[in-house]
Amino acid sequence: MSEQKTESALANELERFLRGFKDRDGNYKYFERINNMMASNTSSLLVDYIDFDTFIPELAKQITHHPDEMFDAFHEAILSILNEIHHDYASEIQNNVKVRIGNYTVQKGLREINAEMIDKLVGVSGMVVRSSEVKPLAKKIGYRCLNCNEITDAQLKGLVLKKPLKCRNCSEKELEMDPEKSFFIDFQLVRLQELPEDLPAGHLPHYLEVTVMGDLVDQCRPGDRIMLTGVVRIEQEQLSPQTKTSLFKLRMEGNNIEYLGGRAGNKDERTIERIAISSEDEKQIIRIASRPDAYDKLISSFAPHIYGHEAIKEAILLLIVGSVTKKLEDGSTRRGDLNVLLVGDPGTAKSEMLKFAAKIAPRGLYTSGRGSTAAGLTAAVVRDKSGILMLEAGAVVLGDQGLVCIDEFDKIKPEDRSALHEVMEQQTCSVAKGGIVATLNARTSILAAANPMYGKYDPYKNITENVNLPIPLLTRFDIIYIIRDIPEREKDSRIASHILEIHRDSEHSARPAIDTDLFSKYLEYAKQIEPKLTQEAINIVRSYYMKMRNVDSDSMITVTPRQLEGLVRLATARSKLLLKDHVDVDDAERAIYLIQRMLETAGVDVNTGKVDLGVLHGKPQSEVSKLKIFMDVFNALSGQDKNDVEEKNFINELVQTGKFDEDDAKSFLRKAMQNGQIYERRSGYYAKA
């Protein structure tokens, strides 16, 4: 140290700071905190670095370069004050007393942690990608001599304990551990990875192993974005148990954890905002929302470099803002997040919209379905080299309370895709592997894009035949939009002008109406509003739902309660987007319009040309009723004796019902044979399977 102060002199100065520091209101901030340690049963004291720097600037510099000595001196200072106030409590926790440095200003990126930083205190921000189970770590182990019962201590150096070779009293070599005379603390390994937005182009993200001890364990879960203050340590690499190399690796010893955005250390105030909204921003946001053309302005600011697709842009904006998650008395929740699926021809800018949504959402992730596994999407259990099983978070857990964009949704393997069923409706993600049984939160909206099976969308087939996706997954999407690339002279000319203009003058042509940075803040601000449903909006939604249930009431179901909840979610999200505190008639009508847009494209049964949500739920009503007639006619012809049915006779009967023509009847006959409902007993004669 520069002035080579003794530890007791240092401790006295720090004690002066802890006793004498007053905050703006004139309270003795740290003295009161130490006084409350016994009541709140804590053993650590959080010291704000800025307070420390204003009170004793020269010592604040030393804490960066000589953290260990300063921490020891802080330990002495806190204990000496505690001894005066609560003597019994001080003797009980004397080994556990820790000081935690908050608001630390010496901050580095994960890439800048190198050999120069060893044994210095530094703050790094990053995302927790895995955390291990909590294990006890021995700080001191007492070995009892079997000959004379004397205790010999072994102290911890770094993460290595050296067992004493012989008893210090009688030189006996037989020693055994005595847990009573040893001292253990909780220990956990956490892996911190660079934040995606801090990553330079073309680089792999850096990561750092962090050890956290004492009351810091279990403070952060995979997916949390944290600001970690800690001391950089080194440990020697081993090639084998006998040989050690001159290579070392860096790890960090955690001193304090703060959540990004929320500057408080407690879990309740955990915030997702990476974006801090100042009062100036708030004024601008409210000014935008109060304009009459606010809604159009917001939609035109989303991906301005893509021409058209207004309804889709609107749906994506509503998805980013989301609805309100309702918690019911019995502990169950009603999902507030929207899910949207875009199905469309190649070259209709689906991926571009997904990329833009992930960039502008307050917490957005983009992933492609090709090469995504169930573990990568949800969570994986990984064995560390030390043999500890760790839980590693996947995309939907990292995107908790945000947005996950999945491109090439139809290319995910079917067994991996089934992992998303739980995420999209229950909003949790359960893992049971290797003895770890856990349910993680995945309160995320999913925006997915898929290509039709045969390259282009076939308008003469229903959506389930066009897209290679299972029906249970399709029903979990609130909105499914089909984007078709149909040549139209006027529209094509406008798109061409738009694209060529961007190439000619990229700075001015695709200028958003609202600046991207402010737009992101606007969406973050809108996310926090919780509007209430009004009776008028409820009536409109109800009457629409009843009307849709009653279409051509030929036992034909068009909408299910799932769509009703979807309507409420859409109406609430629109109200949030316009910063309103009530969901009014306009919002309800707009939600109905968006659902109608979906039904006109994805929900039309191509056989009848009528809207029928059975299309999304498996078989449209037209096919269901035809199948019923088909089997009725077959059963009538075969009679009670189960006679063989002649093909020609059967087809004539079907044509006479007026529901089939000859080709239809033949194709249904082929389908029934493929499905195993009937089989050909001899040429031209069929029997029921």
pLDDT in tens, 79-103: 888 888 888 888 888 878 888 888 8
Question: Cα(274)–Cα(278) distance, rounded to whole angstroms?
Answer: 13
CB atoms within 10 A of CB 646: 13
280-601: CATH superfamily:
P-loop containing nucleotide triphosphate hydrolases (3.40.50.300)
Mean pLDDT of 295-323: 83
Q: How confident is the model at residue 620 (pLDDT cuts 50, 70, 90)?
A: low
The total number of residues written for the chain in this structure: 689
Using the predicted structure, report yes or no on whether residue 609 has a pLDDT greater than 70: no
Q: How confident is the model at residue 266 (pLDDT cuts 50, 70, 90)?
A: very low
Using the predicted structure, report yes or no on whether residue 273 has a pLDDT greater than 50: no
Of 630, 529, 535, residue with least CA distance to 584: 535
Q: How confident is the model at residue 230 (pLDDT cuts 50, 70, 90)?
A: very high
Q: What is the DSSP string of 47-64?
A: EEHHHHHHH-HHHHHHHH
Phi, psi of 239, deg, nearest 5: -80, -40
What percentage of the chain carries pLDDT values higher than 90? 2
Q: How confident is the model at residue 231 (pLDDT cuts 50, 70, 90)?
A: very high
Own/partner long-range contacts of 681-686 (Cβ < 8 Å, ≥24 apart): 681/644, 682/644, 684/646, 684/647, 684/648, 685/644, 685/645, 685/646, 685/647, 686/634, 686/644, 686/645, 686/647, 686/650
Using the predicted structure, report yes or no on whether residue 46 has a pLDDT greater than 60: yes
Q: Using one digit for the tens of pLDDT, what is the confidence trace for 411-459?
A: 888 877 777 888 877 888 888 877 778 777 788 888 888 888 888 887 7
CA 89 to centroid of chain Cα atoms: 41
The class that CATH gives domain 107-259 is mainly beta
Q: Using one digit for the tens of pLDDT, what is the confidence trace for 467-488?
A: 888 777 887 888 888 888 888 8
Of 207, 211, 252, residue with least CA distance to 234: 252
Mean pLDDT of 219-235: 83
Say what the pLDDT of residue 551 is. 60
CB atoms within 10 A of CB 507: 7
Phi, psi of 138, deg, nearest 5: -80, 120
Query: Judging by DSSP bridges, how do beta strands 364-368 and 403-407 pair with one another?
Result: parallel
Say what the pLDDT of residue 274 is. 43
Nearby residues of 313 by Cβ (< 8 Å), 6 or more positions away: 299, 302, 303, 306, 353
Of 653, 651, 640, 644, residue with least CA distance to 679: 644
Token pair belonging to 352? 């571009």
Using the predicted structure, report yes or no on whether residue 555 has a pLDDT greater than 70: no
| Residue labelled with tokens 């390259």 | 455
**Alpha-helical runs (H) found in 454-581:** 463-466, 471-474, 489-504, 506-509, 516-527, 535-549, 561-577
Q: Is the Cβ–Cβ distance between 141 and 161 less than 8 Å?
A: yes
Nearby residues of 428 by Cβ (< 8 Å), 6 or more positions away: 422, 439, 440, 441, 442
Say what the pLDDT of residue 608 is. 60
Say what the pLDDT of residue 444 is. 84
Say what the pLDDT of residue 597 is. 81
Query: Is the alpha carbon torsion for 49, 53, 55, 57 positive or negative?
Result: positive
Question: Cα(640)–Cα(688) distance, rounded to whole angstroms?
Answer: 12
b/e burial code for range 653-672 (CB count within 10 A of at least 16 → b): bbeeeeebeeebbeebbeeb
H or E element in which residue 233 lies: strand 225-238
Token pair belonging to 679? 């089989």
Question: Cα(250)–Cα(235) distance, rounded to whole angstroms?
Answer: 7
7-102: CATH superfamily:
mini-chromosome maintenance (MCM) complex, chain A, domain 1 (3.30.1640.10)
Burial class (CB in 10 A: 0-12, 13-18, 19+), 100: buried
Mean pLDDT of 662-670: 72
Question: Cα(252)–Cα(123) distance, rounded to whole angstroms?
Answer: 10
Question: Cα(509)–Cα(505) distance, rounded to whole angstroms?
Answer: 6
Using the predicted structure, report yes or no on whether residue 48 has a pLDDT greater than 60: yes
Say what the pLDDT of residue 626 is. 64
Question: Cα(210)–Cα(251) distance, rounded to whole angstroms?
Answer: 6
Say what the pLDDT of residue 232 is. 92
